Amino acid sequence: MEQVLLLTPGPTPLHPRAVAALQWPMRGHMDPEVFAYNDRIVADLHTLYQTGGGGLTCLLSGTGSLGMEAGLANLLEPSDSVLIISNGVFGERMAEMAQRLGARVSVVRAPFGAGIDLAEVRSAAKRVRPKLIAAVHGETSTGVLNPIPEIGEIAREVGALYSVDAVTTVGMLEFKMQAWGIDYAYTGSQKCLSAPPGLAPVAYSARALTAISTRKTPVVTWYSDALGMLGYWEPGQQGRKYHHTVPVQLHWATGEAIRAALEEGIPARSERVRTVAAAALAALCTVGFEPFVPEAIRLPTVLAVRLPPGLDDAHVRYRLRHDYFISITGGLGETAGKIWRLGLMGETARPEHYRALLVALGEILGEPRLPVVFDQALPTAALAA
């Protein structure tokens, strides 16, 4: 099969160390070498999420959506009250999950592409007195970055637990679980880490674990019960307990990808995102694209751009995929046909990949200056890297 360059907001091109780890020989899920490797993942996730230690970090066998569902299922009992902050598809997904779990759901909404009104969140939190507040850090459907530390202050004011969707941020941008007062956070292996899809790296605070172990009712989904995870991931008095057959190859690939991210360092990775995004946007703006989201609330890892009038969205993306083997993503829901969403997570945020996209677009649109503007806008250091 041909290589296709994925410049989508997930999945992302695999990190070479993740690819290599997929070839490691098979081991059983209770093998001592697997446990030793898992221990390193636990420690690395504490660093990645900046948990400050304590609680539980681990990998769930499923995608980012399982991470989302597990948090809600563990932290809410039927008829508990939850306040969800939503300005896009993933905020709405949280609300639907919480509804299905039988929670009493209140939602503070902002229009797709707009920022969250903190005064509205504060007054809703004071009115509802939720057990849990849940928010999305970076809304992939619109490219909006939400004010996670500020929502955390509100959670503290009303004594609520706080869950944050870190799918488009942790591993690429600063994420301070402890400092921001977060009790649960999750991502998907295929987003900022550039590992294959199939795992959800998650983190529970000590306070979250206490809340889970003092529930009146069992967690409704056996598979994602955090206490079951704890028995496998942390040695108890009788050692480690079998919970389910973990996908060991995916543990290795994701473990190596986490290592690669920590070795490169989050500041260097953020810088990579910002320089490539700025240069790509500068080039695209010369031919009539416009940023969809104001700079103050723009998510660095998913660049949403409004299409120039007259551009044939489906045709251009078809040509990119079939003639140039480059995949990019259009709008979701109400933004379909109006925007593109360019991924800058993990291995997507490389100057050579965006240069390839702009060369291809330049040919399709008859605008050969696209890559020239990109090169001029890119700091020379970035091109050499």
List strand residue ranges (DSSP E) for 129-265, in order. 132-136, 138-139, 144-145, 161-165, 184-186, 199-204
What is the phi/psi pair of residue 326, to 5°?
-125, 130
Pick the binder of ligand PLP from 59, 76, 98, 136 (CB under 6 A): 136
Smallest separation, CB 140 to ligand PLP (Å): 3
Using Cβ positions, the residue closest to ligand PLP within the complex turns out to be 64
Q: How far is the CB of 89 from ligand PLP (least distance, A)?
A: 8
Two structure tokens written together for 143: 């490219």
**10 makes contact with ligand PLP (CB under 6 A):** yes
165 touching ligand PLP, by CB under 6 A: yes
Pairwise CA distance, residues 82 & 98, whole Å: 8
Is the C-alpha dihedral spanning 229, 233, 239, 242 positive or negative?
Answer: positive
From the list 72-80, 162-170, 221-229, 332-340, the region that binds ligand PLP by CB under 6 A is 162-170
Q: How far apart, in whole angstroms, are the C-alpha atoms of residue 10 and residue 65?
A: 13
188 lies in the binding site for ligand PLP (CB under 6 A)? yes
Binders in 14-43 for ligand PLP, by CB under 6 A: none
- Which value, in Å, is the radius of gyration of the alpha carbons in the chain? 21
Select the residue interacting with ligand PLP from 74, 168, 194, 301 (CB under 6 A): 168
Which amino acid makes up residue 171? G
Residue 278 CB, nearest approach to ligand PLP (Å)? 22
Question: What minimum distance in Å lies between the beta carbon of 182 and ligand PLP?
Answer: 15
Judged by CB under 6 A, the stretch of 108-116, 124-132, 161-169, 316-324 that binds ligand PLP is 161-169
Closest CA to 301 of 142, 155, 71, 79: 142
Q: How many residues belong to the site for ligand PLP (CB under 6 A)?
A: 13
Neighbours of 360 (CB within 10 A): 21
Q: Are 148 and 174 in contact (CB under 8 A)?
A: no
Nearer to ligand PLP, 64 or 152 (CB): 64
Stretch that binds ligand PLP, among 61-69, 212-220, 315-323, 327-335 (CB under 6 A): 61-69
Residue closer to ligand PLP, measured from CB, 224 or 362? 224
Report the C-alpha gap between 124 and 81 in whole angstroms: 12
Element (H, E) at 65: helix 64-75
Which residues 138-157 are close enough to bind ligand PLP by CB under 6 A?
A: 140
Q: Tell which positions 80-99 bind ligand PLP, by CB under 6 A.
A: 90
CA 296 to CA 302: how far, in whole Å? Answer: 14
Residues lying near ligand PLP in the complex (CB under 6 A):
10, 63-65, 68, 90, 136, 140, 165, 167-168, 188, 197
